[in-house]
Amino acid sequence: MRQRESWQSIDPGFCGTEDMEEVEKNFVAPLMGYPGLTKTGATVRQALQDSNAQFEALDALGRAFSPDVLFCFMDLTAEAEALGARVAFSEGQPPSVVEHSISVEEDWKAGRVLDPERDGRLRVFIRTMERMKKNLAMARGAYVTGPLTLAGEVVGIKKVLKGMIRDDRSVRRLLQFTAEVAKGYAQRLVEAGADIICILEPSAALVSPRHYHEFSKGPVEEISGSLDAITLLHICGDVTPLIPEMIKTRVHGISIDSAVDIVGVLGQLDGRMAVAGNIDPVKEMVFSTPEGVRERVVGLRMRAQQYERALVSRCHRVVGEGDDPGQGIHSNFILSTGCDLPPEVPLENIRAFMEGARESIPRNTC
């Protein structure tokens, strides 16, 4: 039986960390789903519309690479579509929102919130998570679209961004609505078996630290605080200016992209939370050679270790259940990719990533 404490009752905020002396290993959690389709032969469309196709691809990746955490497919259109936005699918690439949802303003004024079991394709991810819980030994992660990003998808991002300056009250109300949507959906994913909820907030990379603080941070914390799960905040792109605000956000960890100096972030953190990242999903994982990927992973681990801290037991207990390598004392540096791996990533590069991640490296003792 999985032991879990309520995060809210302990601390509505961070994962605690301890001195690094005892750190033995890093959690390894590349953000991957789509490359699994190479193994099963299903299309992107099938994997996002049919939980069997999605689970089989994830199962194939889980068996082949045994990461410590496996996330379900990343699909930034799922909630927007469930709110009425039109989404274009293709066989080979993740979908995109092609038309904003015109009725959403009526929805949020009327207080209608999503029903994850009925609206759009959200149930595909819920069913996938249930099967992951039943069949996979490693910890499981799922994504929800962050409040600012979802707001941009349903009413148009330009409107939201300009609204922050022109009409901040209505943007705030919209973000309250999208945070409610994310909370409801994330709650269902946790019930279905997700140990980790990763809040995807790429649109925050477009705004100033002040605007992030004023608009995005609160709704993200509201989502995080409502869940009995570990929460990560992922913002893609070069978010260097946002880092001071991101690390003040009450989530258990942040996930950052390859453009950010992750070692510098670990240094700034002084162990306050977990940080996941940040091997380049395209430059390294698509275009580099297996040897190049392995070297890059080992190099990152070497550079990161001077700032690593041990995650305290409550974090560790949730993520670390299951067979070895889940056991042991883990670092607050989670070895991951900077963003989701595209379908084109060669499987041998994922293998090389895992080899670099598991290779024993000399630990700093000073």
Partner 1 sequence: MDGDRRDEILQQLSEGVVRFDEEQVIQASRRALDEGINALTAIVEGLSPGMETVGDLFQRKEYFVPEVLMCADALNAGLEILKPHLKEDETATKKGRVVIGTIEGDIHEIGKSLVALMLDISGFEVRDLGVDVSLERFLSEHREKRSDIIAISALMSTTMLRMRDFIVGIKEADPGVLTMVGGAPLTAGIARDFGADGYAEDARGAVIEAKRVLAID
CB of 53 to partner 1, least distance (A): 18
Beta-bridge partners for 256: 235
Q: Which of 207, 227, 232, 335 lies at the binding interface for partner 1 (CB under 8 A)? A: 207
Count the site residues for partner 1 by CB under 8 A: 31
Give the type of residue at 120: G
Residue 164 binds partner 1 (CB under 8 A) = yes
Choose the binding region for partner 1 from 17-25, 86-94, 265-273, 303-311 (rule: CB under 8 A): 86-94
Kindly report the backbone phi and psi dihedral angles of residue 102, in degrees, each rounded to the nearest multiple of 5, phi listed first. Answer: -80, -25
298 interacts with partner 1 by CB under 8 A: no
* Binding of residue 35 to partner 1 (CB under 8 A): no
Among 140, 183, 211, 250, indicate the residue that binds partner 1 (CB under 8 A). Answer: 211
Of 4-12, 16-24, 280-288, 320-328, which part binds partner 1 (CB under 8 A)?
A: 280-288
Nearest distance from C-beta of residue 32 to partner 1, angstroms: 13
Nearer to partner 1, 203 or 332 (CB): 203
State the minimum distance, in angstroms, from the CB of residue 210 to partner 1. 9
- Contacting residue, 343, 349, 350, 356, with partner 1 by CB under 8 A: 343
Residue ranges in contact with partner 1 by CB under 8 A: 88, 90, 93-94, 96-98, 157-158, 161-162, 164-166, 205-208, 211, 236-237, 241, 281-283, 286-287, 339, 342-344
